[in-house]
Amino acid sequence: MRPARAAVTAAVALGIGLTAVPAQARQHQGHRPAPGIENCTATACHFDLPPGTYDVRVTLGGDGASSTALAGETRRALLPETAVPAGERIVRSFTVNVRTPEGEPLGADGTPGLDLTVGGSAPALAGIRVAPAHHARQILLVGDSTVCDQPGDPYAGWGQHLPAYLRRGVSVANYADSGESTVSYLGNPLLWDTVGPLVRRGDLVLIQLAHNDKTTDGATYRANLETLVAGVRERGGQPVLVTPIVRRWFNADGTLNNPTALLVNGLGVDHPAVIRSVAADRDVPLIDLTARTKALVESLGVEGSKALYLHNEKRDNTHTSVHGATVYANLVREELVDLHLVPEGQVRVG
């Protein structure tokens, strides 16, 4: 059987009807028509599209009760698991960033075009449409391995799961990269020199860099943050400073009040304190993720907080699990709304 016909047969066998991509997407930037039904199976779709920002509209549901989630590109969560009663259909939409490399800026290129994965406990995709997003607002992420689109399970960054909390009209372009400090991010032409020119007027740029500034002195760290803030503003964007997520290192009394947990480096530089100071002095919105994650980890305790990190899998108390990344992305969502940086109507409730 020819591959295209096999894909359609697989979809029909599970009661899935996939609609073709609109003409405007097929003709985008002079590339060959974007693939439609012949390139979708029951578990995945591939759209042969150039880099850009696209609106995706999906219809979920089938003859039986269903529960469907969508991910894409390098393990990005794009639509949280959504239940639909038997015989019903619902429509959900989101906006997705397509780029090369599709994950970390210094990582593998990935597959050209847009790849979506259909998952969930009882997936049922009844339709899909993809079109260029002409008026989408970007949220660009500048960060390290706790933020980035992690390529391999069980690792996950909170930026990898932020898209699932946003509706159509807002995309996440995650340019966080593993191992980066403020020094290396500014110094590598594939990082800030590449990301800066992508900032458009009105875009948000969330900056969380601290975990790898282990040998950066306080004056340099502060100056680097100020350079990033100024660079975003020069291009008409809105910088947002984000204090780093805590490391899961408990004291005997069940608190995280120690340098390792709270990102104080070997030179005595209190990274969250410097970030808070720059935010106040430069009138930059602040997401105090250190305070939020500290409160959550301490409330869960030594045992309960293990699930947020990769303690059980890797004895890793710095990097988050898929569960932890999802929870921390929801904290960021809450802060974006509370700070009036993203309208409440453009986010999904966690």
Q: State whether 225 and 239 are in the same domain.
A: yes
CATH code for the domain in which residue 42 is found: 2.60.120
Residues 280 and 205 in one domain: yes
Report the C-alpha gap between 142 and 173 in whole angstroms: 9
DSSP H stretches of helix in 196-270: 218-234
**Once rounded to an integer, what is the mean pLDDT over residues 81-106?**
97
**How many other β-carbons are positioned within 10 Å of the β-carbon of residue 1?**
7
104-126: per-residue pLDDT in tens? Answer: 999 999 999 999 999 999 999 99
Q: Which residue has the higher pLDDT, 14 or 260?
A: 260
Residue 236 lies in a domain: yes
Question: Which pLDDT score, from 0 to 100, does residue 20 have?
Answer: 33
Q: What is the 3-state secondary structure (H, E, C) of 132-166?
A: ECCCCEEEEEEECCCCCCCCCCCCECHHHHHHHHE
Q: Please check whether residues 341 and 280 belong to one and the same domain.
A: yes
Are 148 and 255 part of one and the same domain? yes
243 DSSP 8-state letter: P
Question: Does residue 9 lie within any of the structural domains?
Answer: no
pLDDT band at residue 36, thresholds of 50, 70 and 90? low
Q: Percentage of residues in the chain with pLDDT exceeding 70?
A: 89
Shared-domain flag, residues 192 and 59: no
CA 83/CA 121 separation, integer angstroms? 9
Average pLDDT score over the chain: 90
Query: What's the CA gap between 74 and 102, in Å, rounded?
Result: 6
Q: Beta strands of the chain (E only): which ranges? A: 44-47, 52-60, 66-72, 76-84, 90-98, 114-122, 125-132, 137-143, 170-174, 204-208, 238-242, 286-287, 309-310, 316-320
Give residue-wise pLDDT tens across range 228-263.
999 999 999 999 999 999 999 999 999 998 999 999
Q: At what angle do helices 289-304 and 322-338 cross, to 10 degrees?
A: 150
Among the three residues 106, 132, 158, which one is the final residue of a domain in this structure?
132
One domain, residues 66 and 191: no
Beta-bridged to residue 333, according to DSSP, are none
183-186 contacts at long range (C-beta below 8 A, 24 or more positions apart): 183/213, 183/216, 183/220, 183/224, 184/212, 185/142, 185/209, 185/228, 186/224, 186/227, 186/228
DSSP for 14-60, please give it.
TT---PPPPHHHHTGGGPSPPP-GGGB-SSEEEE---SEEEEEEEEE
In a domain, 2, yes or no: no
CA nearest neighbour of 279 among 337, 328, 229: 229
Does 224 lie in the same domain as 336? yes
Q: How far apart are the first and last CA of the chain?
A: 43
> Is residue 65 one of the residues assigned to a domain?
yes
Of 110, 132, 154, the domain-final residue: 132
List the domain range (segments joined by +) for residue 312.
137-346
The per-residue pLDDT for 34 is 47
| Of 102, 132, 162, the domain-final residue | 132
The pTM of the full predicted model, rounded to 2 decimals, is 0.90
Pair (185, 203) in one structural domain: yes
* Domain co-membership, 124 together with 152: no
Residue 10 belongs to some domain of the structure: no
Q: Does any domain span residue 197?
A: yes
Indicate the pLDDT class of residue 349, thresholds 50, 70 and 90: confident
The number of residues in the chain equals 350
How far is CA 336 from its chain centroid? 14
Within-domain flag for 114: yes
- 97 lies in the same domain as 168: no
Mean pLDDT for 152-171 is 97
Residues 183 and 329 placed together within one structural domain of the fold: yes
**Secondary-structure percent of the chain, ordered helix, strand, coil, rounded to 5:** 35, 25, 40
- What burial class does residue 76 get, using C-beta atoms within 10 Å of its C-beta: 0-12 exposed, 13-18 middle, 19+ buried? buried
From the list 139, 138, 229, 149, the residue with the least C-alpha distance to 182 is: 229
Q: What percent of the chain has pLDDT over 90?
A: 86
Residue 327 belongs to a domain with what CATH number?
3.40.50.1110
H helix and E strand count, the chain: 10, 14
Amino acid at 121: S
Residue 89 lies in a domain: yes
Question: Are 327 and 270 found together in one domain?
Answer: yes
d(CA 342, CA 333): 9
Total structural domains within the chain: 2
In this prediction, residues 45-66 reach a mean pLDDT of: 94
